[in-house]
Every structure is written in C-alpha cells, then in structure tokens.
Structure 1
Amino acid sequence: MPALAHSGAAPTRLHQLIDPWVAARPDALAVADAHVSLDYARLHAVTVAAAAQLQALGVRAGDRVLIVGENCAAVGVFVLALSRLDAWASVINARLSAREVDDFVVHSGARRVLYTTHVSPDAEKHAQRHGAQRVDWQGLGPLPVGPLAEAVEAEPCHAAAEDQVAALIYTSGTSGAPKGVMLTHANLMFAAMASVHIRRFGPGDLIYSALPMAHVVGLSTQFLGCMASGSAVLLEPRFSPAAMARAFADKGVTAFTGVPAMFVKLLEWSRDQGVPLAAPKLRFLCVAGSPLTPALKADVEQVFGLQLNNGYGLTETAPTVAQTRIDVRRDDCAVGVPLPGVKTRIVDATGAEVPDAQIGELWVRGPNLMKGYYRNAAQTRAAINAEGWFNTGDMARRTDDGALLIVGRSKELIIRSGFNVYPVEVEQVLNSHPDVVQSAVVGRTVEHNEEVVAFIETVSGTAFDEPALRLYLRERLSPYKLPTEIHCLAQLPTTPSGKILKTALEAIARQQTAA
C-alpha cells in the first residue's frame, strides 16, 4: 500500500488533497487530456488562478456553479477552484438534452454556468443557447461562461468538512426522476481516500478515466482518488473502445474502472477488429455502476490475466459502500465487504434484519452518506431514517464470508404469479449466452399479474435466433423466471456513463402490450 504524503492536520477541503504532492512531487503528472497536461505544481497554480477569476466573475461562497461538459482537465481544475471558494460544483454531462440541462440550472439556482466546449460539441450548443461569453483561463485557454444570475442566494457555509457541501450531483435517473444529491467535502474525501487504500493508488500510477465526472465514480474515486494519492489521471471525454485499447497498449495505463458495458464493448471491438488487447502496465481492473455477470468477469480475466474487481455504491454514498479487495480472490460476482467505517443492514419489509444468506433491502450508514437531497427535505427524510440509516432501495444478501451480493432494485422486483423474479438473475443467464453482448430485464403489469420482458443486444454480425435462446434459458431458469417476450435491439439505450436506461425499456414494453 502506498504511503500517503499527508502530514499534520487532515484536509478539510477537496483542493487541499493535492497540497502534499505539490510539495513532494511538483513535477509529477497530475491530470491530462488530449489538450492539456498539468503536473502537480502547474495544477496548483492553474487552480488558484481559476478561483481568483471565478471570484472576479461574481462567484461567492455558497453559490452553485454548473460545469456543463465532458471529461477534461478543465473540469478537474474548476472543481478544485470552487472548493477554494466554498462554492458548490455541479458537473453536468453536456450530452443531456436542453430540457434536462435547463432543469438543472433552474433547480440548482446556479450563479454561473461554465462550459468545456473544447472537448464537447454538445457543450458548445448549450453555451450558445445560454448566451455564454468566452473567457481566457490561465493554463486552459478560452472557455465560455454563462451570464451572472444576480438574484440567486448563496447557501450558508460551514467550517466543518462534514457540513460544507462540495458537490451537487444529479443522479442519472435510470429508474426514476433525477435528484440533486448534496455531497460534503468529508463525504468525497472519505471515498477518495478509501479508493487510495483499497486500490493501492500511488505515485507512478496512471488511471484511465472514461467514466464521466458528471457521475460520482468519475469525480470521487477516480479524479479525487488520483489527486489524493499522487498518481495521474488520463481523462477521456467519451468512451471509445479503440481509444481505450490504444491507451492500455501505449500510454502506460495501470488502472481502469468502468461500467460493464465498457468492458463488453472493448472485448467485442477486439474480436471484430482481430486486434489482441495489450496492457503491459495494467495492474488493476474494476467494474462499477451496474451488475457484473459471471460470463463477463471470466472473459475479462482471461483476456487480461487480472482479477476483475467489483464494487457497489450510489450517488448518495459518494459512492462506495463495498469493494472487493485486490489480495482476496473471488470467483463470484459479490461486491466485497463494506468499507471500514461503513455500516450495513439487510432488512425485511418491517425493518427487521434478516438472517445471513437471505435476501432483504440494503440499508447503509457511515461517513460517506450524503447531506441530503437539495431543496427536498421530504425526500431526504423518506430516504434516511431518524437513526441515520439510508435505504438504498437495492436488494442484497450476505455471502458466507460477509461480502455483499446485490440481487437487484426493490422497485425492479417482478412478482410473477406470486413468485419473486429478480431481473439481475435473468440478465446474468442471458448475458452468459455467447451471442448476447448485454441485456436488460424489466417487468410489465398485466391483468392481476406481472410479466418478464427481456431486451438484448447481440454480437455484431450474429442473427437473433429466438428459439435457440429460449431453449438455452429453459435449461437454466425456473419456468416463472422465463421472459414472456425477448426483444433484440441494435443498441440498448444508455446514460452517458453507459448505464442501461431501464425506464426507456419499460416504456417500450408498455407500448408493446398496448399495441
């Protein structure tokens, strides 16, 4: 495990994470993209300059500032600069629609909106819609800034890291309406430091980051985890299997975390192109954001000769709740044991704990838990009880060694003829078929019952043989778990981070029955 450079008082703000490395390794690479490369000394200088410029642009402590863009060094600089001002950073993926972005601007009460147009044509469109003007930023070049919202009020500020909000992150809304999650400096630094320890990040590591910083994994465990460890992060605006393969082969990447779909697409690209995947420096691989299937785990491990680690978390928990350990080999798809300091309970519908190995709803409490949902105290109270337990809405059970195994969302549970069907179980069997790239299973209400509806994406060039797939499923699933319908789509709908949008698939399923 790398020795951390922090000495003396613990940091209380995000920007302080880099201070030890500015002193100890000023010339070491900190953050890079296709346009900008900053060592720790330069990152510090550029961040200080950006904070001064933001202040000159009217940004105050307690203000919310939206960063509409895609992964690049500028996003990281702005996050650290806003930390210096005690302003809240809210990174918004530029690929969202005009309505979605505008809703976030209004809901957050943004004082200013910044745009990383140099890496995102979509950010340019939003900037033009909002009448943004280009401003020169030291070390970053010209980037647009939206008009000052003079009427918005600043939120109160707090000296304690556990009270002061650092980031306002909007959930992806894969299974419902997005919510503004308030994460404090303490929340994010806890997750960042946990990433350092468990993933053993340190000087000399180069982390490849294709997960958007608009989502909590990209911001917290990747960007801030790198900053806390003295390692370097290579930021990719958009995931591309070809770009990822080149980075692994030629740029000395040592660690990568992605959603399952990224690994699926990378392996598929390698097969289609006939190009073997080379990763001479790679030492750590991890999946997050969506359930891992045994078939994908086996395929990735065979190709890279490394364990594919698994983790679990939510935006509300900054994000990490549990993580598999590098030195503990797992052949299952459990997400590991909870982080030190994070408490978990698995409960039934009455809130009583269930025996080990039984399925129940997962509750979490710890220093990673959000301050609450912005401007929605009622929603916060519904999610976090009086004792500080957060109801994740996920169904889980404990394995024999105490690891958590996530079996699905409680809201996604399908009750078919009185039997419980967990979509992830059906998806794992579907994904184990050699012709299926990825799948998603949703429920559909019919008269007095629910049906199982499956959507699949097949390997390129492979014809969809539904009878053969149904035979394969019948050999591996109980009759009540078998899909009523199987729909083959050219591409499953996903969020910008690669998570499958089940709400969109549920709408398709409803339309099918209406037709």
Structure 2
Amino acid sequence: MSAPTDIVLDRLPARLSGIVEHWAQDAPQAVALSQDGVTLSYSQLNEASRQAALWLRDYGVRPGDRLMVVAENCIAQLVLLFAAARMDAWLVNVNARLSAREVDAIAQHSQPRVVLYTGHISAEAMAHAERGGAELHEVAGAGLVQVGPLHTDCEPEPVHASGNEQVAALIYTTGTTGQPKGVMLTHRNLLFIAATSSHVRGLTPADRAYGVLPVTHVFGLASVALGTLYAGATLYLAARYSPSAVVRAIQHDELTILQGVPAMYARLLEYDYGDWDPSNSSLRFIYAGGSPLDPTLKHETERLFGRTLHNGYGMTETSPTISQTRIDAPRTDTSVGSVIPGIEIRIVDDQGVTVQRGEPGELWVRGPNVMKGYYHDDKLTALTVNPEGWLNTGDIVRQEADGALFLIGRSKELIIRSGFNVYPIEVEAALNAHPAVVQSAVVGRDGTDGNEEVIAFVELDPAQDAPAAQALHEWLHPRLSPYKRPSQIVIMQAMPAAATGKILKGQLKQLAQQLRKEALHPEP
C-alpha cells in the first residue's frame, strides 16, 4: 500500500475491500482482528467478507441497496463492512446504543433493503432486533446475526465503477435535532483518510491498535479501523469503553497505538493503577480527537503515560481528518496540527475573504476527503459545499506562521455578550484547569435585551472534595475577562454524551433555557 503522496489517489484500491484483499495476498497469516480471544487473520477476514457478500446477495441485497447494521464494535461488524464494499451496497452503520426513535428515524431516511443486528455482542442491539422482528441467521462469514425482513419497496441507488463516485458508507451525524442528516462518503473518501491516517501515525504491520471508538462513527471507522488495517496492522476491538479494559489491553496485548476522545483520557486520569506505571508500556503513539483538547488534560495525560498526546481535528463531512499533529514534531500546546497532505484550506471572514495569517476566520476545506453530499438533501449540500468544491466547516480557526491550526470554536456556538465575542472553548479550558473538574461544556443562553449569557456545565471528579459553584466562579475570576465569565455554573453528575464520548451541547443548551425559565417563573 502506498503512502499518501501526490499520487496516492492513483494507487488506492477501487473499493474498501481492496484493503483486506491486498494483505490476504501479501501477509495472509498476519492477525487482522482480535476480540475477546477470537482472532481473524487477513486471509480469514478476506474469505469471511467474501462469504458474507454471497450470503447477502442470496438473501436479496443488491448493488446500490442500503445495508443497515445496528451494532457495537465487533468482528462481525467489520466482516459486514467489507462484504458491503464487495457488492457495492451502502453500509449504514448505526450504534446500538441509540434510542428506538433515533434508530427508526435513520431507517426511515435511509430506506435499507435489510437491517442486521449484532445481538451476540450487544444487549441493546438484541432489543432493537426483537423490536424490528429480526430472526437469528447463520450469516456465512459473520456468524450468528439477527436479520430483519427484506424490504421489497426500497429502490437501489445507481452504481458507479469509480470509487470517486460510488458511496461506501452513509453516516448519520450525532447531536442533531429534527430530521436525521446522512453523510454520503465514497470509497475514495474513506480510503484516502485510511491511507493518510496510517502514514501520519507511521503505522507498520507490527503495530497493535485499540479499537474502542465506535466503528459507527467516522473517527472509529476511517481513522482507527480502516487506517489500522490499511497498514496491515492488528486491530483489537472493544465493544465498550472502560478504563480497566484499556489498561488490561495496554498491559496484556502490548498495544502500540491508542486513539480516543478527550473524555476517555479524562477517565484514565481517575483510574487507580496500583503498582503499575503506565509510562512503562509498548505504547508509542497516543492520540485524542473528536472534540477540543484542553491544555490541562493534555499535560496530565502526558505526565501519566510519559508520551506526547497528539491531537487532530476533523468532521464527518471530511471523512473525518482535516489536520493532525506529527510524530516528528510533537507540540506542547493544543494545536490541532497541520493540514494533512493532499487537501487545501482557506480561512475566511464573514464575507468569504481570506484573512491574514494569525487572524481567526471560518475554515473552508477542499480535497479527496470531502463528502459526496447529504443523502436526499441537495439544498443542504449546496449550502455546505460550493460549486468549486469548498466545504464550509462552520468552525473558527486561526493558522500560525508554522502552519499549525488552532481551533477556536464553532461559528454557530459563538456567544455574543455585551458586544464581545465569547468562544466556549476558552471558557472550558479555564474551567478544566481546576483540579477537581473532569470536563466542562459552555453554551450560550438568550438573555435580556438580545444579549446572551454564558452558561457552564461542569462534571467533577468524585475522588476529590467537590467545590461549590461559587468556588468555581472565584477560580475563573483572575483567569477570564468579566464578559467571558459564566453567568451560571451548573454541577452535573454526568454530561449527556454520544456513544463516542462527545458532549451533546444541544441538550445542554435546552437545559440552560429551561433553567432560565424556571428561575423567571418559579413554581408556587
């Protein structure tokens, strides 16, 4: 497999299944997947996906159909991923921990030919299967899987010979309200990120990576799963995250690669390691992505593991990676790194004019990682990607002279208070620096006279003496300008979060509005 150079697009396989086909030929006995003592070599994974594709075809799945898989991370899920790629079906990966309403909304929007459930690994998947009238089948290559009825009224999408056009996965974004938003990612989109992620991390077939980030999310799918397998390395799958399971994998499986979201590392900082020193391991690369990384968490994690905590940035619509810090250029700040090879960026003001280096602006991206569009929503696609191929991320960034990007916040999350711009990430960083704060989230709330209030939600470390909200206000007083300080700090037992660990700010914003309503109109 080639590294992502200027000619990487010419050397990528036509389909995702080309990844396992390549290694089944070059290193057939090398272990591709491992989970709970069960392993599949690249040869076995290739054959399993071939058999599963044949089974699906016989069951009635056609090229261009949507194949919906309700699952948590497991070997069968990866087998079905490559099986769908072989037969040009669109994989609709859905996290089993979503509610019945959310799963139904995705099914209604995507109109799958059939829905499969991995109930053997997930009680939630089993519950969805029972509700969906699925029956247990021995799916060749994938094992025992609950299979729903064939939907005879759905129509297949056109099939394209080119991986540039053929959709591989339909991924639904988290934290949205109203109708679900399906992001169409092509084979080229995902293969480009798999190759780039593999190259930037310096992966080799000798690496052992931990796969706990949900494969239903683009980070877990493209960067972790496909990036690991693209290099011919071994992926250790975990259905759910727990600090003890991560530690056990680091120790016994001698992991070399650990990727997660910041919330995952926050939990690892709380874990009791006993006599074992976490810096004494085989890990050579640890990485945080999926949400902003604050300086305190980065520093404490690096102190614990004795290694640089790398950082990056992306979004579902860019498959997902846009930038990443480099192994050969570790950073002590919270930059999200430099732009990955092969893509272009522009940083513009609200008029679309490019800003000067060092000035904040909205980030536009163009390249082979940009989505094909939103499924059944040409209007939203046109609003997001212009005719020249530039995707407006909606994120505010600045770029330093050395090319490093710094994420300031989302334009839609910008809080305007007394005429000043407040970016939540700055307030969150100040809160997270408090030793008792595990994580925080800041949102804006409608105030009086059209002014906005800054509202902070905080999750505290149960192992420490919990400070009162007033103590946190006092902590922020010397650290933030008056207009940036929260009007209210709300202590939370746990933040509402997606399966990836990403905090669902939409729910917190609703809660902030509800708290204001209750304060203005208290019950008698």
Please state which band the TM-score falls in when normalised by the shorter chain: over 0.9
> 1:211, 1:75 → 2: CA distance?
13
CA deviation map 1:310-356 (0-9, x unaligned): 01100000000101100002111111111111111111111001111
Give the letter for the 1:426 counterpart. V
Q: Where does residue 436 of structure 1 map in the other structure?
A: 437
1:347 corresponds to 2:355: no
Q: Does the CA contact (< 8 Å) of 1:430 and 1:436 recur in 2?
A: yes
Q: Where does residue 366 of structure 2 map in the other structure?
A: 365
Aligned-residue offset at 1:10: 3.8
Q: Where does residue 187 of structure 1 map in the other structure?
A: 189
Q: Does the CA contact (< 8 Å) of 2:338 and 2:404 recur in 1?
A: yes
Q: Does the CA contact (< 8 Å) of 1:270 and 1:277 recur in 2?
A: no
Q: Where does residue 77 of structure 1 map in the other structure?
A: 79
Structure 1 residue matching 2:271: 3-state secondary structure: helix
Structure 2 residue matching 1:31: 3-state secondary structure: strand
Q: Does the CA contact (< 8 Å) of 2:64 and 2:89 recur in 1?
A: yes
Change (3 A) 1:125 1:508: same
Change (3 A) 1:363 1:2: closer
Q: Where does residue 467 of structure 1 map in the other structure?
A: 470
Q: Where does residue 292 of structure 1 map in the other structure?
A: 293
Structure 1 residue matching 2:278: 3-state secondary structure: coil
How many residues were matched structurally? 513
Change (3 A) 1:279 1:152: farther
Q: Where does residue 320 of structure 1 map in the other structure?
A: 321
> 2:272, 2:453 → 1: CA distance?
36
CA deviation map 1:351-396 (0-9, x unaligned): 0011111111111110000000000000000101121110101110
CA deviation map 1:463-509 (0-9, x unaligned): 23333221210111000000000000111110011000101111110
Change (3 A) 1:177 1:421: farther
> 1:147, 1:182 → 2: CA distance?
25
> 2:227, 2:452 → 1: CA distance?
43
Structure 1 residue matching 2:163: 3-state secondary structure: coil
> 1:395, 1:274 → 2: CA distance?
44
CA deviation map 1:103-152 (0-9, x unaligned): 11110010011111111000000000010011112354211111100110
Equivalent runs, 1:254-265 vs 2, <5 Å: 254-265=256-267
Q: TM-score, normalised by structure 1?
A: 0.97
> 2:124, 2:211 → 1: CA distance?
20
CA deviation map 1:152-208 (0-9, x unaligned): 000001011110000000011268864100000000000000011100111111110
Q: 1:503 aligns with which of 503, 506, 518?
A: 506
Q: Where does residue 24 of structure 1 map in the other structure?
A: 26
Structure 2 residue matching 1:270: 3-state secondary structure: coil
Change (3 A) 1:368 1:2: closer
Structure 2 residue matching 1:265: 3-state secondary structure: helix
Structure 2 residue matching 1:53: 3-state secondary structure: helix
Q: Where does residue 172 of structure 1 map in the other structure?
A: 174
- Larger deviation: 276-285 or 74-83? 276-285
Q: Where does residue 115 of structure 1 map in the other structure?
A: 117
> 1:13, 1:252 → 2: CA distance?
31
Change (3 A) 1:306 1:404: same
Q: Where does residue 221 of structure 2 map in the other structure?
A: 219
Structure 2 residue matching 1:480: 3-state secondary structure: helix
Q: Where does residue 161 of structure 1 map in the other structure?
A: 163
Q: Where does residue 426 of structure 2 map in the other structure?
A: 425
> 2:178, 2:321 → 1: CA distance?
21
> 1:159, 1:279 → 2: CA distance?
49
> 1:118, 1:381 → 2: CA distance?
41
Equivalent runs, 1:22-61 vs 2, <5 Å: 22-34=24-36, 36-61=38-63
Structure 1 residue matching 2:113: 3-state secondary structure: strand
> 1:375, 1:29 → 2: CA distance?
39
Q: Does the CA contact (< 8 Å) of 2:12 and 2:192 recur in 1?
A: no
Equivalent runs, 1:236-251 vs 2, <5 Å: 236-251=238-253
Change (3 A) 1:69 1:314: same
Aligned-residue offset at 1:299: 0.7
Aligned-residue offset at 1:213: 0.6
Q: Where does residue 411 of structure 2 map in the other structure?
A: 410
Change (3 A) 1:300 1:2: farther
Q: Does the CA contact (< 8 Å) of 1:260 and 1:290 recur in 2?
A: yes
Aligned-residue offset at 1:32: 1.6
Q: Does the CA contact (< 8 Å) of 2:345 and 2:366 recur in 1?
A: yes
Structure 2 residue matching 1:221: 3-state secondary structure: helix
Aligned-residue offset at 1:276: 4.5
Give the letter for the 2:133 counterpart. G
Aligned-residue offset at 1:270: 2.9
Structure 2 residue matching 1:66: 3-state secondary structure: strand
Give the letter for the 1:350 counterpart. Q
Give the letter for the 2:470 counterpart. P
Give the letter for the 2:414 counterpart. L
Q: Where does residue 94 of structure 2 map in the other structure?
A: 92
Structure 2 residue matching 1:256: 3-state secondary structure: strand
Structure 1 residue matching 2:336: 3-state secondary structure: coil
Give the letter for the 2:440 counterpart. S
* Two-structure CA RMSD over aligned residues (Å): 1.8
CA deviation map 1:217-270 (0-9, x unaligned): 111011111221100101111111110111111111110111100000111123
Identity %: 49
> 2:181, 2:287 → 1: CA distance?
26
Q: TM-score, normalised by structure 2?
A: 0.95
Q: 1:484 aligns with which of 487, 496, 516?
A: 487
Structure 2 residue matching 1:411: 3-state secondary structure: helix
Change (3 A) 1:177 1:301: farther
Give the letter for the 1:508 counterpart. L
Structure 2 residue matching 1:201: 3-state secondary structure: coil
Q: Does the CA contact (< 8 Å) of 1:245 and 1:278 recur in 2?
A: no
> 1:457, 1:276 → 2: CA distance?
27
Q: 1:12 aligns with which of 14, 21, 42?
A: 14
Aligned-residue offset at 1:9: 5.8
Q: Does the CA contact (< 8 Å) of 2:212 and 2:239 recur in 1?
A: yes
Q: Does the CA contact (< 8 Å) of 1:36 and 1:140 recur in 2?
A: no
Aligned-residue offset at 1:62: 0.3
Gaps of 5+ in 2: 519-524
Q: Does the CA contact (< 8 Å) of 1:323 and 1:339 recur in 2?
A: yes
Q: Where does residue 283 of structure 2 map in the other structure?
A: 282
Give the letter for the 2:20 counterpart. I
Give the letter for the 1:504 counterpart. Q
> 1:30, 1:175 → 2: CA distance?
37
Q: Does the CA contact (< 8 Å) of 2:397 and 2:407 recur in 1?
A: yes
